[in-house]
């Protein structure tokens, strides 16, 4: 199954929820981690959380940030703060950190991810096949005749992907997928990181799709932080 659209999705994620209790923290980590594997939600948060610890898959732990500490690098300290002073931690987080979920074509995601002051967690087509999450491809606003050719190209790529899967793993089959394929990821940063990102990505010479994403993020941040500036 294949679909084509031109939507650019930006959603604010209230990461401070993870700081309200240790149980909330575990569920938040599990919910984010499952994106990489194509599940809509973590059915057993505690089990997945334990698995991430055992396998030392700590990257997702960067998304729980308290003051100058992250769960990844200061596990016991962050855990103690969440258990002893959650209200204070939540208040600080809401004023200083913002997390977004983005669903955009790969070529937009790669431009965004050039900004390295953020924590990212992206859906991986190494694990997520089209059976788990069907392919969606971006269609720019161009000549209608060209659109039909592009759709046929997308169809051919999707069929070739399925053909490769018959004898190879998804991590191999994905090589035929174009950068117009939609990807999904979480992106978290502090005020300084967001200000720097928006300074560059709101410029008029930025590719329109990437600028639209930046504009959506800026609108949300101004509502979240009225004193925020670029």
Q: How far apart are CA 149 and CA 221, in angstroms?
A: 39
- Cβ proximity of 150 and 139 under 8 Å: yes
Count CB neighbours of 203 within 10 A.
10
Q: How far apart are CA 30 and CA 46, in angstroms?
A: 8
Q: How far apart are CA 116 and CA 192, in angstroms?
A: 12
The catalytic residue among 72, 116, 201, 211 is 201
Helix (H, G, I), strand (E, B) or coil at 199: helix
- Cβ proximity of 123 and 105 under 8 Å: no
Is 174 known to be catalytic?
no
Cα–Cα–Cα angle for 23, 39, 169, rounded to 5 degrees: 135
Beta-bridged to residue 136, according to DSSP, are 3
| Active site members | 201
């Amino acid at each position: 199954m294949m679909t084509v659209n031109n939507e650019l999705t930006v959603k604010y994620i209230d990461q401070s929820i993870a700081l309200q209790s240790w149980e909330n923290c575990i569920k938040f980590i599990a919910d984010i981690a499952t994106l990489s594997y194509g599940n809509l939600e973590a059915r057993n948060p505690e089990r997945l959380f334990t698995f991430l610890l055992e396998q030392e898959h700590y990257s997702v732990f960067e998304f729980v940030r308290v003051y100058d500490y992250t769960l990844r690098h200061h596990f016991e300290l962050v855990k103690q703060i969440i258990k002893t002073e959650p209200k204070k931690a939540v208040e600080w987080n809401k004023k200083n950190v913002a997390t977004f979920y983005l669903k955009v074509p790969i070529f937009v995601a790669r431009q965004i991810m050039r900004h390295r002051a953020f924590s990212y967690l992206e859906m991986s087509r190494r694990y997520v096949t089209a059976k788990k999450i069907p392919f969606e491809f971006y269609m720019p606003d161009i000549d209608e005749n060209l659109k039909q050719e592009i759709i046929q190209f997308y169809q051919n790529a999707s069929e070739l992907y399925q053909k490769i899967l018959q004898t190879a793993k998804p991590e191999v089959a994905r090589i035929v997928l174009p950068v117009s394929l939609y990807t999904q990821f979480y992106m978290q940063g502090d005020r300084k990181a967001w200000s720097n990102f928006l300074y560059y990505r709101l410029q008029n010479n930025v590719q329109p799709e990437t600028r639209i994403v930046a504009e959506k993020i800026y609108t949300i941040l101004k509502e979240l932080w009225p004193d925020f500036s670029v």
